[in-house]
């Protein structure tokens, strides 16, 4: 299922070889009442085992993907007086121009705008990108409508590009079967991440161990996933000293005497275009998942991230992270 040199050469520049990583399958996942085998690509020991163990500790995970919206941003410098009002007056013209560029499976649905600084306007076009991730389509749209924006604002358009900050988020939540004392310490461990950004960074790295592994397996832009997640986390922490702290993507509590967890994060994914169709392993992994919609794929990724986080916190709250991790790590040395 590995790509050949010709395919590799068509994807990136200056190709000298193909770099392979382990592909495994996480088990025990039941998401929205459906059993799912989850493909994961990672070089790190214990990640797939931890995801599977976390899933085994819950009967069912309720999860949902975000709405399929991507934001295209256009920066306008030195606009004329009244430019903001002109954007408002010509909003439909802007949407019509954008929709003339987008494919029939996509739709520009909203225009927003704001003054960022003296002589700088930010204009954004919200696009429903359907089942694609939509990066190339939105970038092309931004570049093509730029002359119209210059005409409307009387300014100079500089940057024309999508934002990897998603306007909507996906989530996963579940109850986990664990002893009461361990559940309480998992909540205590979560509170450490809530109040301390240095801890929150590693807390979220553990979440992304799962999310990124599924993203790699299914041909997603993992850098976009990481950037969006950490930007969202920057607004999740406790406000201290007048500023927003970087905080945990997940939340843990004891409800009805049972440990409850919820993961919320942006998940810009796609199931058509890009590597999803050009990489045979990515296509096979999507087939293993039942060829999900992007909404369902995002829900699966959120569920994996939640279970990954549970297993990490359970290990930290009991034997420590190294016991299980190093047991699997030693297999490399045997």
* Domain residue ranges in the chain: 13-66+169-332, 69-163
Could you give the percent of the chain with pLDDT greater than 90? 87
User: How far from 175 is each of 16, 58, 181, 253, CA to CA, in Å?
Assistant: 48, 6, 15, 10
Q: Answer whether 54's CB lies under 8 Å from 125's CB.
A: no
Fold of 13-66+169-332: 3.90.770
Alpha carbon distance 54, 75 (integer Å)? 44
Say yes or no: do domains 13-66+169-332 and 69-163 share a fold.
no
pLDDT value at residue 277: 85
Active-site residue, from 221, 236, 294, 296: 221
> Which two three-digit tokens encode residue 304?
């994996």
Tell me: the pLDDT tens digits for 137-159? 999 999 999 999 999 999 999 99
Tell me: the pLDDT tens digits for 158-177? 999 999 998 899 999 999 99
Active-site residue, from 203, 236, 294, 325: 325
Q: Specify the 3-state DSSP secondary structure of 241.
A: coil
Q: Where are the beta strands (DSSP E) in 129-272?
A: 156-163, 170-176, 250-255, 258-265
Based on the residue annotation, tell me whether 221 is a catalytic residue of this protein: yes
Strand partners, 160: 74
> Which two three-digit tokens encode residue 68?
């399929």
Based on the residue annotation, tell me whether 128 is a catalytic residue of this protein: no
Confidence band, pLDDT 50/70/90 cuts, at residue 274? confident
- Across the range 296-316, mean pLDDT stands at 98
Torsion of CA 65, 178, 311, 313, to 10 degrees: 100
Q: Answer whether 108's CB lies under 8 Å from 125's CB.
A: yes
Q: Answer whether 290's CB lies under 8 Å from 229's CB.
A: no
Active-site residue, from 205, 323, 327, 329: 205
Based on the residue annotation, tell me whether 205 is a catalytic residue of this protein: yes
Strand partners, 262: 173, 251
pLDDT value at residue 93: 98
Alpha carbon distance 139, 162 (integer Å)? 6
Alpha carbon distance 223, 95 (integer Å)? 29
pLDDT at residue 325 is higher than 60: no
Mean of the per-residue pLDDT values of the chain = 94
Active-site residue, from 44, 179, 253, 319: 44
Neighbour count for residue 71 (Cβ, 10 Å): 19
Alpha carbon distance 235, 201 (integer Å)? 13
pLDDT at residue 114 is higher than 90: yes
Fold of 69-163: Alpha-Beta Plaits (3.30.70)
Tell me: the pLDDT tens digits for 7-44? 999 999 999 999 999 999 999 999 999 999 999 999 99
Q: Answer whether 75's CB lies under 8 Å from 157's CB.
A: yes
Alpha carbon distance 50, 34 (integer Å)? 20
Radius of gyration of the chain (CA): 22
- Shortest CA distance to 270 belongs to which of 96, 130, 104? 130
Based on the residue annotation, tell me whether 226 is a catalytic residue of this protein: no
Q: What is the pTM of this model?
A: 0.93
**Start-end of H helices in 68-134:** 83-89, 91-101
Length of the chain counted residue by residue? 334
On the 0-12 / 13-18 / 19+ scale of CB atoms within 10 A, 57 is middle
- Across the range 265-270, mean pLDDT stands at 96
Top-confidence residue, 286 or 320: 286
Backbone dihedral angles phi then psi of residue 176, each to the nearest 5 degrees:
-120, 135
């Amino acid at each position: 299922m590995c790509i050949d040199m010709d395919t590799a050469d068509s994807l990136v520049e200056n190709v000298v070889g193909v770099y392979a990583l382990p592909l495994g399958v996480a088990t025990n996942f039941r998401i929205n009442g459906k059993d799912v085998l989850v493909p994961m690509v990672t070089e790190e020991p214990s990640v797939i085992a931890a995801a599977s163990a976390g899933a085994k500790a819950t009967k069912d995970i309720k999860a949902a993907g975000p709405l399929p919206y991507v934001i295209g941003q256009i920066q306008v410098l030195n606009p004329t007086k009244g430019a903001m009002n002109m954007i408002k007056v010509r909003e439909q013209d802007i949407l019509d121009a954008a929709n003339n560029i987008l494919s029939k499976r996509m739709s520009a649905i909203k225009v927003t705008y704001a003054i960022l600084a003296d002589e700088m306007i930010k204009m954004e076009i919200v696009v429903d990108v359907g089942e694609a991730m939509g990066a190339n389509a939105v970038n092309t749209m931004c570049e093509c409508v730029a002359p119209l924006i210059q005409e409307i604002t009387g300014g100079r358009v500089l940057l024309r590009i999508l934002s990897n900050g998603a306007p909507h988020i996906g989530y996963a939540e579940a109850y986990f079967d664990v002893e009461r004392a361990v559940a309480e310490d998992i909540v205590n461990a979560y509170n450490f991440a809530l109040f301390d950004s240095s801890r929150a960074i590693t807390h979220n790295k553990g979440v992304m161990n799962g999310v990124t592994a599924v993203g790699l397996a299914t041909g997603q832009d993992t850098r976009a996933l990481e950037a969006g997640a950490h930007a969202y986390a920057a607004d999740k922490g406790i406000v201290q000293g007048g500023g927003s702290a970087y905080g945990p993507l997940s939340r843990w509590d004891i409800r009805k005497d049972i440990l409850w967890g919820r993961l919320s994060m942006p998940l810009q994914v796609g199931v058509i275009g890009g590597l999803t169709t050009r990489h045979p392993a990515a296509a096979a992994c999507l087939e293993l998942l039942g060829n999900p919609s992007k909404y369902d794929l995002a829900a699966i990724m959120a569920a994996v991230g939640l279970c990954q986080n549970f297993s990490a916190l359970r290990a930290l709250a009991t034997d420590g992270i190294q016991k299980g991790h190093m047991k699997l790590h030693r297999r490399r040395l045997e």
